[in-house]
């Protein structure tokens, strides 16, 4: 039997492991119900990952610096980056949503003076203890938001202005992007200097698609986003590490560029989005890219029966398993409207039918 680390690295290397690797992301409501099901303490996230058979663990450098942005009445202010959110209830739970955009009308001088963290305020050395604690797991640094430009800029400028910033190369918006990315890249660099021999891959992200097609055009992607992302890929490669990139929605139009950049794996893979069906992805890119995701959080897991979930998981495995290169995961955070029994069926079915002969 392979360790989680061995299992994931074989899959990312397009070799068949003993079983398909598993990952997990969930919103608070379903996460709480799963812990209750297994008799776990509400704070025992590690216990839940073990109960579900999850192979991945993330490690990160915690922020130890001062609060940079003061509190504002009526909103939740991110003390490090200054995003302003409120808890917005919906029919199935809730999310922290950006409701105010403090830099929407800012000029470049205002952005230049906007408080941002120093890389010196991140405890990169703390990553070693995290690596030791999860030594047999597949360890990644970064995550779906690492290197992200569109969403991160939208949180302080508003999404409409963020897209205008990219199209027009607005000095204020692009200055914020480059200041933020420089800090993030330096923290990642220092983290890898400490832990590159213990971690297994770098994870980054950029949401590039809607359900129907691209959010931005290929020319804009290549002029504004790809060169900035390339720095993260090059840093990972300088340490001999593979790179996985997260992208929501219809994003396969960018996969040829991902390959040229040196990216090894793609995450999310919403099967209902345009040109994102598992069969299409496997046939078109399966010999060059590894896949992580494919199990829709807006499909059978949320709205179907246990039998529907098992059918979707088995169909996905039948397509994605041959030759390796696949890690099973929800496409996004499991939503709070997902029945507990459906989520349990997802992981049980994956472990039963994700075995290689």
Mind listing the pLDDT tens digit for each residue in 160-207? 999 999 999 999 999 999 999 999 999 999 999 999 999 999 999 999
Please determine, for residue 91, whether its predicted confidence score (pLDDT) is greater than 90: no
Please determine, for residue 357, whether its predicted confidence score (pLDDT) is greater than 90: no
Round to whole Å and give the CA distance between 224 and 169: 8
Mean pLDDT of 224-248: 98
Q: Which residues of 263-286 are buried (b: 16+ CB within 10 A; e: fewer)?
A: bbbbbbbbbebbebbbeebbeebb
Residue 255 in domain: yes
Place of tokens 């990315």: 181
In this prediction, residue 61 carries a pLDDT of: 98
Domain that holds residue 171: 4-65+108-353
Residue 73 in domain: no
Residue-averaged pLDDT of the chain: 97
Residue 75 in domain: no
Q: Residue 306's pLDDT band (boundaries 50, 70, 90)?
A: very high
Residue 17 in domain: yes
Round to whole Å and give the CA distance between 252 and 221: 13
Residue 76 in domain: no
Round to whole Å and give the CA distance between 75 and 87: 9
Mean pLDDT of 222-228: 98
Residue 338 in domain: yes
Please determine, for residue 343, whether its predicted confidence score (pLDDT) is greater than 90: yes
CATH code where residue 330 lies? 3.20.20.210
pLDDT tens digits, 25-64: 999 999 999 999 999 999 999 999 999 999 999 999 999 9
- Quickly count: other Cβ atoms within 10 Å of residue 145's Cβ: 15
Into how many domains does the chain fold?
1
Q: Residue 90's pLDDT band (boundaries 50, 70, 90)?
A: confident
In this prediction, residue 94 carries a pLDDT of: 87
Mean pLDDT of 128-139: 98
């Amino acid at each position: 039997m392979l360790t989680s680390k061995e299992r994931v690295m074989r899959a990312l290397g397009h070799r068949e492991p003993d079983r398909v690797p598993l990952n997990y992301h969930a919103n608070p409501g379903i996460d709480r119900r799963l812990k209750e099901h297994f008799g776990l303490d509400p704070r025992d996230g590690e216990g839940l990952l073990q109960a579900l058979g999850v192979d991945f663990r993330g490690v990160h450098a915690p922020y130890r610096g001062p609060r940079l942005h003061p509190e504002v009445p009526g909103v939740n202010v991110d003390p490090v980056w200054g995003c302003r959110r409120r808890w917005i209830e919906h029919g199935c739970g809730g999310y922290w949503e950006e409701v105010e955009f403090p830099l929407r009308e800012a000029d470049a001088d205002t952005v230049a003076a906007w408080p941002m963290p120093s890389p010196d305020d991140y405890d990169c050395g703390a990553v070693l203890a995290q690596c030791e604690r999860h030594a047999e797991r597949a360890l990644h640094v970064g995550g779906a938001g690492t290197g992200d430009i569109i969403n991160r800029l939208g949180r302080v400028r508003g999404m409409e202005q963020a897209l205008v910033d990219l199209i027009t190369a607005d000095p204020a918006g692009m200055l914020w992007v480059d200041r933020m990315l420089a800090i993030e890249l330096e923290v990642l660099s220092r983290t890898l200097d400490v832990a590159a021999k213990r971690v297994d891959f770098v994870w980054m992200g950029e949401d590039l698609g809607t359900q129907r097609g691209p959010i931005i055009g290929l020319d804009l992607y290549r002029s504004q986003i790809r060169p900035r992302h390339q720095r993260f890929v090059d840093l990972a490669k300088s340490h001999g590490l593979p790179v996985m990139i997260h992208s929501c929605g219809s994003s396969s139009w960018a996969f040829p560029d991902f390959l040229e950049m040196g990216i090894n794996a793609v995450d999310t893979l919403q099967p209902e989005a345009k040109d994102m069906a598992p069969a299409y992805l496997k046939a078109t890119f399966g010999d060059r890219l590894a896949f992580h995701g494919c199990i829709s959080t807006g499909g059978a897991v949320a709205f179907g029966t246990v039998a529907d979930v098992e059918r979707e998981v088995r169909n996905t495995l039948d397509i994605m398993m041959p030759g390796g290169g696949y890690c099973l995961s929800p496409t996004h955070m499991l939503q709070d409207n997902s029945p507990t029994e459906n989520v349990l069926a997802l992981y049980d079915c994956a472990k039963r039918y994700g075995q290689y002969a």
